[in-house]
Structure 1
Amino acid sequence: MTSTGLPYAEVIGDPINHSKSPVIHNHWLRTLGIEAEYRKTHVTRDGLAAYFLSRRADDDWLGCNVTIPHKVAVMDYVEDPSNIRGQIGAMNTIACETGGPLIGTNTDAGGFLSPLERLKWKGKEAVLIGAGGAALAIGYALAAKGMKSLTVVARDRAKGQALLDHVGMEGRVIGFTDPLPATRLLINSSPLGMTGQPPLDLDLSPLAEDATVYDIVYAPLETGLLRAARARNLATIDGLAMLIGQAALAFEIFFDASPPRDDDDAELRTLLTQPLD
């Protein structure tokens, strides 16, 4: 993107074209009349060091959000005064003040919980698909809310067990072909089902009749998992809920302002369902 001389934040990842974070932040910036912008930038794993070096030299840079696959790797490039590494094990927000250090934090945990809190969900067990950076934040959030048992669905069972150990929760690790338990909450934190990724094919029949299926994938918004859940008349939460929730927390960090939100983010959701340029 051509420089405009405005203060800016951005989201980095590999891939990054699918990201709708700029739609959210730039909508809030326009609504509040803040002279700043939010971008998206493709950064590979091998390019992380050069990326942070170049941004530290840019006085207009306010920080970045971090998406797949960098949420763990970025911890090696920032300071961690809140012990995010120890508590969650992944970061999705890096803040920078002129002349100061890069500070890493995580807004995924709070963003993930916000729709469940609106539903007043108080279950004690769940199934979590995936064991990456987003899964670490979700596992931490569930443990903090009193979750007692977690079943992790992962190809790498050692990685899934490491997630359970890290968040200090009882549970077990199963494979993608193993039957699901009769849970009341199923969460997909993996990229499966995302545009350009393999589909997520699961047999949802073991789930409880009053189960909620929560897919953090938002491109496409109507994932195969959510379609299958709705076909069984299960409650669903789509990926925009977490995306908007974590973005609201990051917006305050970057731009020192509370984002304008209504009860259901109706206007913003309309913008987010439109095709990207």
Structure 2
Amino acid sequence: MTRRAAITGYPVTHSRSPLVHGYWLKLHGIDGTYERVGVPPESAEAFYRDFASSGLVGCNVTVPNKEVAAQACDDLDEAAKAMGAANTLWLDEAGRLCGANTDGIGFLGNLDQMAPGWDENCGAALVLGAGGAARAIVWALLSRGIAPVYIANRTEQKAKDLAAHFEGDSKVLSWDNTGTVLENVSLLVNTTSLGMEGQPPLEIDLSPLPTDALVTDIVYAPLETPLLAAARARGNKVVDGLGMLLHQAVPGFERWFGVKPQVTDELRRLVLADLGIAP
């Protein structure tokens, strides 16, 4: 019987997830489909509570439904519990709805693939931004043993709230004081929209940053943001954000279809072509 999975949320019209999962389904010759299912916020709670009747074996969840989906689950993985949000759902053998948050896994998988060994002797990390993606990335870094993790956000209270959520080795910086820690940073992560197409640039003085520090941006349009271009020009290793999108999809596919797929150069080229971005 054909196994059906989907991207759910609202809107889902422009999601690239069907392209990614469709590529893997074809590559592995699996009898399955990956669809778009629009779930507006007003019907989200009912949809996820009654997920077993949807005909899907599982789904991804995008904005604005990640928190509602987590609340509907019978069981959550540690990341989803920590973040109060789930982006990957599946039904177990008993028909219970299970949820995971794979954003942090996607972030780490991207760095592991594109900058092997980045976490060996890694010192402090600086995360710019305090939204949902930042929360996943702070969790991921702390779970990998990176410490301290500094958090800087233009609205400082949001950074304080995020740091308080994780306690321990996460520390808050005011947006204007990021330069005070850059000389001690091994990893710089931008999770803000600054630098995206149509958005203002991220203005940060990289001169105190060690040239052996890794710089990454979760933005992938443009593929090389002004931050990454500036870091590359001064000799830093850089990693773009596309891999995070691809790696976060791996655990769901494995759950739903029984095969662990690989993130390959061919898949990257396929998604970049669909985005109209030159590799």
CA distance, structure 1, for counterparts of residue 63 and residue 228 of structure 2 = 21
SS at match of 2:249: helix
Residue identity over aligned pairs, in percent, reads 39
Alignment check: 8 A CA contact 1:179 1:203 kept: no
Alignment check: 8 A CA contact 1:152 1:160 kept: yes
Instruction: Choose which of 34, 37, 40 in structure 2 pairs with 1:38.
Output: 34
Instruction: State which drifts further: 267-276 or 40-49.
Output: 40-49
How big is the shift at 1:75?
1.8
SS at match of 2:268: helix
> What amino acid is the match of 1:66?
V
SS at match of 2:130: coil
CA distance, structure 2, for counterparts of residue 190 and residue 68 of structure 1 = 16
Distance 1:19 1:34, change over 3 A: same
SS at match of 1:153: strand
How big is the shift at 1:152?
0.7
> What amino acid is the match of 1:229?
A
Residue 184 of structure 2 is aligned to residue 188 of structure 1: no
Alignment check: 8 A CA contact 1:8 1:39 kept: yes
Instruction: Choose which of 74, 80, 96 in structure 2 pairs with 1:101.
Output: 96
What is residue 239 of structure 1 aligned with on the other side? 241
CA distance, structure 2, for counterparts of residue 188 and residue 163 of structure 1 = 15
Alignment check: 8 A CA contact 2:51 2:97 kept: no
Instruction: Choose which of 92, 99, 117 in structure 2 pairs with 1:120.
Output: 117
SS at match of 2:178: coil
How big is the shift at 1:23?
1.6
TM-score (norm. length: structure 1): 0.83
CA distance, structure 2, for counterparts of residue 38 and residue 140 of structure 1 = 29
Instruction: State which drifts further: 68-77 or 147-156.
Output: 68-77
**Structure 1: 5+ residue runs without aligned partners?**
none
CA distance, structure 2, for counterparts of residue 84 and residue 171 of structure 1 = 16
How big is the shift at 1:18?
4.4
Map 1:66-105 onto structure 2 (within 5 A). 66-97=61-92, 100-105=95-100
Aligned length in residues: 269
> What amino acid is the match of 2:147?
K
What is residue 167 of structure 1 aligned with on the other side? 166
What is residue 58 of structure 2 aligned with on the other side? 63
> What amino acid is the match of 1:52?
Y
> What amino acid is the match of 1:22?
P
Distance 1:176 1:70, change over 3 A: farther
CA distance, structure 2, for counterparts of residue 190 and residue 51 of structure 1 = 31
> What amino acid is the match of 1:163?
L
